[in-house]
Amino acid sequence: QLVLTQSPSASASLGASVKLTCTLSSGHSSYAIAWHQQQPEKGPRYLMKLNSDGSHSKGDGIPDRFSGSSSGAERYLTISSLQSEDEADYYCQTWGTAWVFGGGTKLTVL
């Protein structure tokens, strides 16, 4: 069964970097994923599509501070030079016969 696992929460200081992790279930390590950001009281916003080889393509207007990488079944979202507006929920998503979402990581910027 295709499942995405995310840590429920993460925190980092203003101006620092943070790396969020999304883990694909066993047997699905070749799958691409997408990362989405959801700021408080807003709808989701597409950040990037991330392939198993680490290549990624970002959505329109997504700052260079956001980058993606991959290792095995792990997919990462790194946000550098954290700003207050980066405080949000981050969801990874993949697709097979249906769309599948991770549980989301709530990022707090200290």
Partner 1 sequence: EVQLVESGGGLVQPGGSLRLSCAASGFTFSSYWMHWVRQAPGKGLVWVSRINSDGSSTSYADSVKGRFTISRDNAKNTLYLQMNSLRAEDTAVYYCAIATPGGFYWGQGTLVTVSS
Binding site for partner 1 (CB under 8 A): 34, 36, 38, 43-46, 48-49, 57-60, 89, 91, 93, 95, 97-104
Q: Which is nearer to partner 1, 98 or 110 (CB)?
A: 98
Q: Which is nearer to partner 1, 15 or 55 (CB)?
A: 55
Q: Which is nearer to partner 1, 25 or 49 (CB)?
A: 49
| DSSP per-residue codes, 52-75 | TTS-EEEPTT--TTEEEEEETTEE
3-state helix, strand, coil in the chain (%, to 5): 5, 50, 45
